Amino acid sequence: MKGGVLNINKPRGSTSSAIVQEVKRLLSTGKAGHAGTLDPQAEGVLLVLLGDATKISAYLTGLEKEYEATMVLGTTTSTQDGDGKVLRTRESKVALRDLEEVFDKFLGVQEQIPPMVSAKRHSGTRLYELFRQGKIVERAPRKVEIKELELLSYDMPKIKFRTVCSCGTYVRTLCHDMGEALGCGAYMSDLVRVRIGKFKLSDALPWDRKEIFHEKVESISDALSDFPSIVVTDRMGWGIRLGRQIKISEVKSVSLTPSEISDIDKAFKVFDEAGNLIAMAKAEGTSGVREFRLLRVFSQNI
């Protein structure tokens, strides 16, 4: 198998790395990875990348995510979830109107401080490793975008909601921050990832159906079907493989119009005339003739 992507419904209690290793063993592939980890207590869409699909990890990881989460008001924990030490409890008499106002406040671009239990690195060490050692370090805030926030149920102190957010958003931190904004604190008790880009939970393979995994591997090209594309001449294709940048005169076709390109911020798939995926590129320029800057050149056709 050259490579492909499996959309798996990760069960609660399993680590993402354990799922990847088991799939790697089951399908006898030399390389495997995933496009965005899920904490052990979380469940839902986990994209397992097999073989050459590991080369497109950054592009799938960067897709927007959709989650359904439950936060519990009135309690703050050391891990911002139900597994941590209780740090503080406060009265949680929150009116529905107050909750809706906070949801509105958190829409759009926000700054988040990564939690200490995240896999983000600090001076080369994972934050969760430092946390296990009892160390708390300063973390720089990072910009994330909360695109949608929808209240699903209101059963105090439990609030269930749906959110669509950018890559890099920590939903546990979103719960914590909204709890602070409400004045009572909160932690995340449950999390389900229902979508990564075009990959939906409704299409995900149940973990107990391992016998059909080999039949459900999606090709690399299909996994990137939501990404726009350009086709270059065979001559340019060989030039790209030799490290040359794309010449606009060697671009035979583009799947988007110039105005459509201006409205998106996605990488482009680069194909040669034979239909081989040879690279990923970024559109540059503001108007008129577009330029394409190479982001990643694949060492062989995938």
Active site residues per annotation: 39
Nearby residues of 276 by Cβ (< 8 Å), 6 or more positions away = 237, 301, 302
> How much helix, strand and coil, in percent to the nearest 5, is found in the chain?
25, 35, 35
Q: Are residues 42 and 12 in contact, defined by beta-carbon separation less than 8 angstroms?
A: yes
Nearby residues of 57 by Cβ (< 8 Å), 6 or more positions away = 33, 34, 35, 49
Q: Verify cis geometry, omega within 30 degrees of 0, for the bond prior to 157.
A: yes
Residues 287 and 285: their CA atoms lie apart, in Å, by 6
Cα end-to-end distance, the chain, whole Å: 11
Q: Are residues 254 and 232 in contact, defined by beta-carbon separation less than 8 angstroms?
A: no
Single-letter residue type at 180: E
The DSSP secondary structure of 5-39, one letter per residue, reads: EEEEEEPTT--HHHHHHHHHHHHT-S-EEESS---
Query: How big is the CA angle at 166 (ends 65 and 201), to the nearest 5 degrees?
Result: 0
Burial class (CB within 10 angstroms; exposed 0-12, middle 13-18, buried 19+) of 260: exposed
Burial class (CB within 10 angstroms; exposed 0-12, middle 13-18, buried 19+) of 46: buried
- Residue 162, SS3? strand
